[in-house]
């Protein structure tokens, strides 16, 4: 029963993480990390599938192991973040408070991404 709850929670956080790719205020990485934690306790097969996924597996594995992010991943992440939040502020945010919150989120996430170690090409290619 406990394993099923972890798998269910992991699947929910995975879904929220995928939605976070599109929705600017919903953070993707924390949800993927929670997914990994839940799958570790609920299903080794799902955990391995997550870490070997061609889209996010190496990124997540490097992040979880504290190895960092590739320069390309940082650039793509920041570009998507800035475009989505600026578009949200311009087209959807109706109040100054919402714009300020989005600006704080933008600044905080940008600082966090830039503070993560940048992997060299050789480090990002290395398996393990």
pLDDT band for 126, please (50, 70, 90 cuts): low
Number of domains the chain contains: 1
Is residue 123's pLDDT more than 70?
Answer: no
| 74-85 CB burial, b ≥16 within 10 A, e <16 | beebeeebeebb
Per-residue model confidence as pLDDT tens digits over 43-83: 999 999 999 999 888 888 888 888 888 888 889 888 888 98
Of 26 and 10, the one with more pLDDT: 10
Domain range for 32: 2-125
pLDDT at position 24 is 66
Per-residue model confidence as pLDDT tens digits over 86-117: 988 899 889 999 999 999 989 998 998 899 89
Is residue 21's pLDDT more than 90?
Answer: no
């Amino acid at each position: 029963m406990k394993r099923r709850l972890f798998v269910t929670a992991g699947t929910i956080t995975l879904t929220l993480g995928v939605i976070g790719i599109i929705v600017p205020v919903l953070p993707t990485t924390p949800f993927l990390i929670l997914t990994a934690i839940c799958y570790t306790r609920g299903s080794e097969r799902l955990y391995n599938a997550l870490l070997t996924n061609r889209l996010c597996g190496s990124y997540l594995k490097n992040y979880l192991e504290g190895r960092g992010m590739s320069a390309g991943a940082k650039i793509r992440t920041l570009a998507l973040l800035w475009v989505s939040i600026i578009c949200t502020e311009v087209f959807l945010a109706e109040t100054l408070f919402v714009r300020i919150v989005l600006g704080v989120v933008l600044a905080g996430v940008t600082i966090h991404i830039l503070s993560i170690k940048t992997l060299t090409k050789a480090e990002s290619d290395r398996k393990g």
